[in-house]
Amino acid sequence: MPIAPALKTVHTDLVALDAMSVSELAAKYYEVFREESRSRNKAYLRKKVAWRIQELAEGGLSDRAKRRIEELAADAPIRQRPPRETPTASDQPPRDPRLPKPGTILRKAHGGSEHLVTVHADDFEFRGKRHTSLSSIAKVITGTNWNGLVFFGLAKRGAKTTEAA
């Protein structure tokens, strides 16, 4: 069965979209929608233009389908992204319960010397320098990567630990 000439044109137009640049797709978008596109996303433009070409050639949705959409839209929840809020102190994750209270001094014997770490509310102090994690201090001491909680004896090796500090 031969393909109708109108469908050949639609097929040709759809195939041509694959070879178009973003600028060409934006121009084609304007041609079929009669408005500028707000997007410069190639895949999005290609899909929207292809849909519109097919809609113009085949007539789009029936009146019955449009009425049904109107009925359903009245009950549909509105999808909007809430505005981004700046994080506050209460948005911060809770302090890891395995960490000792601020002011505690952790002692670790390694390499023939004793290493002292002072626990602060938001970080740790080792040799007068602040560190954001016990793991970074363990690396300074040993020269290798360690889980800081395990190294300082605050968690057991092999236990599921997530270091929040």
Q: Is 94 inside any structural domain?
A: no
pLDDT tens-digit map of 6-22: 667 889 999 999 999 99
pLDDT tens-digit map of 44-58: 999 999 999 999 998
Residue 11 and residue 52 share a domain: yes
- Residue range(s) defining the domain that contains residue 69: 5-75
pLDDT of residue 156: 84
Spans of the chain, pLDDT less than 50 = 1, 161, 163-165
For residue 39, give the amino acid letter.
S
pTM listed for this prediction: 0.43
Q: Is 71 inside any structural domain?
A: yes
Q: Is 89 inside any structural domain?
A: no
pLDDT of residue 124: 96
pLDDT of residue 67: 93
